[in-house]
């Protein structure tokens, strides 16, 4: 015996479940995009640092690269913090959308 009264209630359930899954996947896709962008930016900045280190000729050049590396690390930490905030925003928006889908219109 199914918990659905008739075919229409089952069809409505399937429509709602499909819509909820689509919302969840859009949120997941956005989070994945944000993480990929953050990794690409970090890889670009570190690749430039390594390229400079490979052509360094003396200790003075290596000290300059060391200082540049410190700045690179600070920038990467700031970008990671920003990305984490954006990911939390996406998660909150997704949760709010899903909540709105399951909350009856009159229960605000």
* Tens-place pLDDT, residues 20-63: 999 999 999 999 999 999 999 999 988 988 888 888 888 888 88
- Of residues 36 and 67, the one with the higher pLDDT is 36
Q: What is the pLDDT of residue 8?
A: 85
From residue 98, alpha-carbon distances to 2, 9, 34, 72 in Å are: 25, 20, 21, 39
For the chain, the first-to-last Cα distance in angstroms comes to 34
Q: What is the pLDDT of residue 34?
A: 96
pTM, to two decimals: 0.76
**Residue 105 banded pLDDT, cuts 50, 70, 90:** low
């Amino acid at each position: 015996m199914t918990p659905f009264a008739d075919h229409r209630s089952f069809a409505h359930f399937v429509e709602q479940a499909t819509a909820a899954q689509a919302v969840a996947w859009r949120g997941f896709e956005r989070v994945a995009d944000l993480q990929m962008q953050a990794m690409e930016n970090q890889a670009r900045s570190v690749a430039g640092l390594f390229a400079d280190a490979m052509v360094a000729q003396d200790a003075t050049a290596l000290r300059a690269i060391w200082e540049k590396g410190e700045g690179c690390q600070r920038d990467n930490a700031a970008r990671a913090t920003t990305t984490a905030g954006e990911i939390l925003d996406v998660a909150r928006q997704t949760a709010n959308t899903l909540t709105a889908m399951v909350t009856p219109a009159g229960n605000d």
